[in-house]
């Protein structure tokens, strides 16, 4: 399929891009996830395009098709059942009760999370890093036996939130994070083991080809030995980088193809990167990627959320202070002390945001 479409496009970049888009849209129509992934892998090989890029684009179009399908079903149901006299139609009293229940539910959510809207952008900033790099080995922790154990991005964020007794204030974002935790651990060990075996075979093939080239070019045993050492370092580096790449995008792939509409829709918003630097800007100097900056970005995002929560609590405390009986000196003193404590915490966090950097696993 892809070969035929690309053959018609020739060397024209515009026509080639259009052909690839048609291929992506066609793959998105496949209902079975495994079959979709097989086609994505094959097209990535044939088209020389990142499998991650194809996965995200297929996810976007899959969401669009799913949304259209739901809307069509809703329209058909609306046509089939019309008017209050139709079988199963809610009476005016029942409709009123449903509206009241909906309003009560919204009020309860607002009461439980009064600052949800204010905190939303901070929570999404954290979840964006989690969605993009969830299973990436971020830092090391020490187990009960004193051994260093890699801690992934998901694990680190979860640990930080638990240590401060925090949850995401927006229910949809909390649901998304819980899905991230589950998906990052479900079948992860088996998937990593399978991918590692495949990459080890790729490494072995690459090493064998390199050895043949060395023996065809080298003129003495000393040169052969030195070149083989360099080759070993090269294929090992490529293997380790490939394993890290797989870990970094593992969760994003699962999120973008999740059967949960809420999770999949939010994932397609959070996972794609905003832009890619032009080669002109990276030709003469190394530009740190977002992944290389995670040691700064993740702690900063967590501290900014904590800072926003403290600012919200300060505003609440100041509002409560206005309602304190002016004759109750002790209550006023206690409230002022509480506000001062919060302001001190805010100042400490502000310093951490500027100073703290976590050293990721190298």
The dihedrals phi and psi of 216, each to the nearest 5 degrees, come to: -80, -25
pLDDT the model gives residue 267: 92
The residue among 285, 281, 280, 296 whose CA lies nearest residue 352 is 296
pLDDT the model gives residue 104: 43
**DSSP structure class, residue 293:** G
Cα–Cα distance for residue pair 250/132, rounded to 1 Å: 9
3-state secondary structure of 90: coil
What is the token pair recorded at 110?
């607002």
What is the token pair recorded at 32?
């079975």
pLDDT the model gives residue 82: 45
pLDDT the model gives residue 68: 75
Cα–Cα distance for residue pair 21/25, rounded to 1 Å: 6
pLDDT the model gives residue 354: 63
Give the list of residues 6+ apart from residue 359 with CB closer than 8 angstroms, or none.
139, 295
Output the CA torsion 310→316→322→325 (10° steps): -100
pLDDT the model gives residue 29: 78
pLDDT the model gives residue 5: 46
To the question of pTM greater than 0.85 for the whole model, the response is no
pLDDT the model gives residue 110: 46
Mean pLDDT per 10-residue run, the chain (362 residues)? 50 75 80 78 80 84 77 63 46 50 45 78 94 87 73 91 91 94 90 92 92 82 85 92 90 91 92 56 65 88 90 87 85 86 84 55 47
């Amino acid at each position: 399929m892809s070969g035929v479409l690309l053959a018609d496009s020739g060397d024209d970049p515009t026509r080639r891009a259009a052909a690839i888009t048609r291929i992506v849209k066609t793959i998105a129509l496949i209902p079975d996830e495994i079959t979709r992934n097989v086609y994505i892998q094959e097209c990535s090989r044939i088209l020389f395009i990142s499998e991650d890029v194809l996965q995200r684009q297929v996810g976007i179009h899959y969401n669009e098709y799913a949304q259209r399908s739901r809307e069509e079903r809703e329209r058909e149901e609306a046509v089939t059942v019309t008017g209050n006299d139709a079988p199963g139609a809610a009476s005016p009293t029942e409709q009123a009760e449903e509206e009241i229940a909906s309003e009560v539910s919204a009020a309860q959510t607002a009461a439980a999370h009064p600052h949800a809207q204010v905190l939303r952008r901070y929570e999404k900033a954290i979840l964006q890093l989690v969605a993009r790099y969830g299973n990436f080995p971020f830092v090391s922790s020490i187990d009960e036996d004193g051994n260093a154990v890699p801690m992934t991005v998901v694990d680190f964020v979860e640990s930080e939130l638990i240590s401060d007794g925090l949850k995401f204030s927006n229910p949809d974002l909390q649901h998304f994070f819980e899905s991230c935790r589950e998906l990052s651990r479900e079948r992860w060990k088996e998937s990593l083991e399978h991918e590692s075996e495949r990459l080890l075979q790729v490494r072995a093939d690459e090493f064998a080809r390199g050895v043949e080239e060395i023996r065809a070019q080298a003129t003495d045993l000393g040169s052969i030995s030195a070149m083989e050492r360099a080759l070993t370092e090269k294929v090992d580096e490529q293997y380790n980088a490939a394993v890290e790449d797989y870990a970094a995008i593992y969760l994003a792939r699962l999120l973008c193809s999740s059967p949960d509409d809420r999770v999949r829709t939010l994932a397609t918003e959070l996972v794609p990167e905003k832009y890619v630097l032009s080669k002109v800007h990276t030709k003469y100097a190394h530009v740190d990627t977002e992944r290389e900056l995670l040691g700064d970005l993740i702690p900063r995002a967590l501290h900014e959320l904590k800072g926003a929560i403290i600012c919200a609590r300060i505003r609440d405390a100041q509002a409560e202070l206005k309602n304190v009986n002016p004759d109750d000196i002790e209550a006023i003193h206690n409230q002022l002390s509480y506000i001062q404590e919060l302001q001190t915490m805010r100042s400490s966090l502000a310093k951490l945001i500027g100073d703290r950097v976590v050293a990721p696993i190298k």
